[in-house]
Structure 1
Amino acid sequence: MATKEIRKHRKEKGGNGPKNLGVDRISRLPDPLLHCILSSLPTIYVVRTSILAKRWRRVWISIPVLYFEEFNNVTFQGTVKNIRRRFFKFVDNFLLCRKVGNQFSRDTLVMTRFKLDMHYHSGIRITKKIDDWLKFAVGGNVEELDLRIKPSYKTRYYQIPYSTVLNSRSLTLLRLKHMKLEILFPVSLPSLKALYFKNVEFDDETLQNLISGCPIIEDLHLSMKSYSSISGVNFAACGTLRTLSLSSVKFTGEWLEDQISRLPLVERLTLDDCIGLGHFSIHSISLKSLVIDIYDTIEATFSTPNLVRFRYNFHEESIISIDAPKLLEAIIDFQLYIYTYGTWYYDLIRFLSNLSYLKKMTLSTYSEQVIIIPENVRNICRSPLPDLKHMKVKISKRDYALNKTSELKLRDALLWCAPSVETLEIV
């Protein structure tokens, strides 16, 4: 009797258990959800989903994110020359299908992002092909353009077509990597909000012409291939800027002071591996996040009443003074492995005393010996972090052979630094 009831229940549900496991529920999703799932994949894999089922045959043609990446021996197999030829052929054919699809579709096929990651081999034919691809993207009102066109050995850099990309009215994000820019005339990017350069070569005139044509830019990230100077650039045209990140560039402390004073809305400032700063003083009411990762010796004063997050790569010869009463979290990195002079611990205590009002801190170091402040130093100094409640210590090369006494010394030193600590985590 029970067996009959079970069979009846299975029949009402539409089958016998295991057969239901083969139901393709993903194919029942609407196109926007399928596009969201597929948007993180290179476009060639998106096209290959068309063989999964009849429902998938038309999905790839309307995907809003186009991502072309030149894989070596993964997507396209064979010799380097054949891989390159197949890659170019695939991109050409895909964009042709997309163009035809736009002509016969009731609704215009939307393109939100166009990403191109490839090696560049100089030549008129190849350059024209890339130019045509970018013209297609900009003509489709693309919003985000991500170009990583790395020159091959002994090959000149690819130059972005000025009239096509740098006069787009729809572009909101431009990301360039492994390229060289030379812009002799002002550009017009009225919708651009974010600009990212990584390993990009450019001069002051090029950068000035570029940012002057971005009236509503909010995020600016500059990382140059070499330590070129940007002291001739004036960021006053970027009055809407909220995030400024400078990496591997050269400028003076006076220039930085002047630029920050001209950016009343900037909330996030990152200085990474920059040179030439020396002495400088930053006063900013709007600044909320500050990252300093500089290997040169600097002497800096920060007056930032609304700062809530601070990250600093500690340099034992630098002098940092920071006034940030609302600071919630600090991350301090100690990258130097060996300290050769006895006053090192006094420098550390002096710096940490700047953050005496802090409640949460993370210390990252190569070795635990760096933060074990000797007892004779503790006997003559005040605890630098009297109000700290939460401390996390990250040790990249921790000595697990430490005996119990040494382990206690580490904890004692940390508890001396922060006598009111409630949670102490050592990883």
Structure 2
Amino acid sequence: MVRRKSIKVSDRAEETIGDDDRISRLPIELIHQIYSLMDTRFCVQSSLLSRRWRNIWKSQPYLNFKIETDPYTFLTIGSKFPNFVHRFLSAREKHAELVTIDFRSNSIKLSLLKEIVTYAISHRTQKLNIEYLSGIPTRRGGVDLSLFKSRYLQEVSLNIDFEFLKTPTLTWDLPALTTLHLERVTFTLCSPGSNSSSSSNSSSKSLELFSTFPNLKTLVLVHCRLWDIHTFYITSSGLKNLTLERILHHSCRFVITAPKLSSFTYNHMAPCSFLANNLDSLETVIFRTIYGTYLEDQPKIVEFMIDTFHQLYNAKFLTLNKDALMFLTRFPELLERRGCPFVRLQSLTLDEKPHPLSVVITDIINYFRGNSSGVMVTIKHNPTSSEQVVIRFS
């Protein structure tokens, strides 16, 4: 009798817990949304909280793999992390929807990189982010661009420190792509049956990658390397935002053709030949130089800057850093001879207060008001501060 009573009490307790267990009764879509904010490892661990949750992680459409760079956990957790990723992808439901893969790790091998990309493409992933968190260079191999073929990928961000291999017959095919962010990637040309450095034909050392993306709107290239490439083409019929930052190259010529480009950031780039075609929609230009670390007091640098400005003559809003200003003011005869090319300029922003202020401002007024008498100048005392001095030209 006592035993029967205890069973009834137990059954009644389970029934009471079941009535109050609202979390287990949440819609699967909402659980997936909660999982999207969590590390994927925790999603798997949470399957122990409820029988209903036991296999939900297998259909999770938002995957977040992340291992922070931690010197105390790198050898214990970091070394096991790739194995977890492999087992997870193998156990996941084959036909489950996959919207996003966000992979960030301080330990990434080329084989794992290829596995993640192949899995993302085969499962119609829309957003792919792969980030190598460690500052230690790897470059233990390359990825053939033909690996990237998908009608569904819309946003791709790769910070991987590996080579991208481009052959004349193989290329990437991403017709739905709208946003592409590449960081620490090395672009390498590969001729069939030979390596890129063995060819002496300059035409074979020209690289064009983006013209096959009809829906591309935003392109960001940061700390990328152009290995033995003479001409780098950026051609896009729909591109609106372009950022080139700290790209490593050796006497490379950049050719940009983007009729819908409205915003262009040229950030801390080494001197290079620059040609722009059909930038009729250009409005905002951010131009920051690091020429001071390369050449001192050389008229060629100012000539290069003015040549670049002439390519960007349609800009309405221009931002310059202090290094660019100081180079411009060192050779006033060149400014006077070449003249200001900006025909629609409305606003000029100086990243940092130059010294001496009066001399630089006088030169800036004389140069940048050449075609736009109503230009407004904004000077930031400190790039990290909101304090500003605003000067209006009359």
Aligned-pair CA distance for 1:123: 11
Structure 2 equivalent of residue 423 of structure 1: 376
Structure 1 unmatched runs, 5+: 1-53, 71-87, 180-197
Aligned-pair CA distance for 1:320: 0.9
Letter in 2 for 1:203: G
Q: Tell me how far apart the structure 1 counterparts of residues 158 and 55 of structure 2 sit (CA, whole Å).
A: 42
Aligned-pair CA distance for 1:392: 0.9
Structure 1 equivalent of residue 242 of structure 2: 290
Cα contact 2:318–2:345 (8 A) shared by 1: yes
Cα contact 1:331–1:361 (8 A) shared by 2: yes
Aligned-pair CA distance for 1:91: 6.3
Cα contact 2:289–2:324 (8 A) shared by 1: no
Cα contact 1:234–1:259 (8 A) shared by 2: no
Aligned-pair CA distance for 1:259: 3.3
User: Matches of residues 126-141 of structure 1 in structure 2 within 5 Å?
Assistant: 129-135=84-90, 138=93, 141=97
Cα contact 2:173–2:213 (8 A) shared by 1: no
Letter in 1 for 2:240: K
Q: Name which of 283, 296, 310 aligns with 1:328.
A: 283
Q: Tell me how far apart the structure 1 counterparts of residues 265 and 161 of structure 2 sit (CA, whole Å).
A: 24
**Partner SS state of residue 271, structure 1:** strand
**Partner SS state of residue 357, structure 1:** coil
Q: Tell me how far apart the structure 1 counterparts of residues 213 and 331 of structure 2 sit (CA, whole Å).
A: 44
Aligned-pair CA distance for 1:390: 0.7
What is the root-mean-square deviation in Å for CA atoms of aligned residues? 4.4
Q: Tell me how far apart the structure 1 counterparts of residues 117 and 377 of structure 2 sit (CA, whole Å).
A: 57
Cα contact 2:146–2:172 (8 A) shared by 1: no
Q: Name which of 413, 416, 422 aligns with 2:363.
A: 413
For 1:6-31, what per-residue CA distance to the aligned partner results, in whole angstroms no more than 9, with x for missing partners? xxxxxxxxxxxxxxxxxxxxxxxxxx
Q: Tell me how far apart the structure 1 counterparts of residues 363 and 141 of structure 2 sit (CA, whole Å).
A: 48
Q: Tell me how far apart the structure 2 counterparts of residues 350 and 220 of structure 1 sit (CA, whole Å).
A: 33
Aligned-pair CA distance for 1:422: 2.7
Q: Tell me how far apart the structure 1 counterparts of residues 80 and 180 of structure 2 sit (CA, whole Å).
A: 38
Q: 1:388 aligned to 2:345?
A: yes
* Pair 269,144 (structure 1): closer, same or farther in 2 beyond 3 Å: closer
Cα contact 2:207–2:233 (8 A) shared by 1: yes
User: Matches of residues 54-93 of structure 1 in structure 2 within 5 Å?
Assistant: 62=31, 64-66=33-35, 93=45
Letter in 1 for 2:362: D
Q: Tell me how far apart the structure 1 counterparts of residues 238 and 334 of structure 2 sit (CA, whole Å).
A: 38
* Pair 147,258 (structure 1): closer, same or farther in 2 beyond 3 Å: closer
Q: Tell me how far apart the structure 2 counterparts of residues 352 and 146 of structure 1 sit (CA, whole Å).
A: 38
Cα contact 2:329–2:360 (8 A) shared by 1: yes
Q: 1:113 aligned to 2:69?
A: no
**Partner SS state of residue 65, structure 1:** helix
Aligned-pair CA distance for 1:62: 3.4
Q: Normalising to structure 2: TM-score of the pair?
A: 0.65
Structure 2 equivalent of residue 144 of structure 1: 100
Q: Tell me how far apart the structure 1 counterparts of residues 55 and 230 of structure 2 sit (CA, whole Å).
A: 62
Q: Tell me how far apart the structure 2 counterparts of residues 250 and 410 of structure 1 sit (CA, whole Å).
A: 39
* Pair 132,337 (structure 1): closer, same or farther in 2 beyond 3 Å: same
Structure 1 equivalent of residue 298 of structure 2: 342
Q: Tell me how far apart the structure 2 counterparts of residues 369 and 380 of structure 1 sit (CA, whole Å).
A: 18
Structure 2 unmatched runs, 5+: 1-19, 68-73, 190-202, 381-394
Structure 1 equivalent of residue 230 of structure 2: 278
**Partner SS state of residue 256, structure 2:** strand
* Pair 127,372 (structure 1): closer, same or farther in 2 beyond 3 Å: closer
Structure 1 equivalent of residue 329 of structure 2: 372
**Partner SS state of residue 213, structure 2:** coil
Structure 2 equivalent of residue 260 of structure 1: 210
Cα contact 2:236–2:258 (8 A) shared by 1: yes
Structure 1 equivalent of residue 186 of structure 2: 249
Cα contact 1:134–1:164 (8 A) shared by 2: no
Q: Tell me how far apart the structure 1 counterparts of residues 347 and 116 of structure 2 sit (CA, whole Å).
A: 52
Q: Tell me how far apart the structure 1 counterparts of residues 129 and 267 of structure 2 sit (CA, whole Å).
A: 27
* Pair 316,178 (structure 1): closer, same or farther in 2 beyond 3 Å: closer
Letter in 2 for 1:363: L
**Partner SS state of residue 410, structure 1:** helix
Q: Normalising to structure 1: TM-score of the pair?
A: 0.60
Aligned-pair CA distance for 1:254: 5.6
Q: Name which of 189, 193, 203 aligns with 2:142.
A: 203
Aligned-pair CA distance for 1:337: 3.2
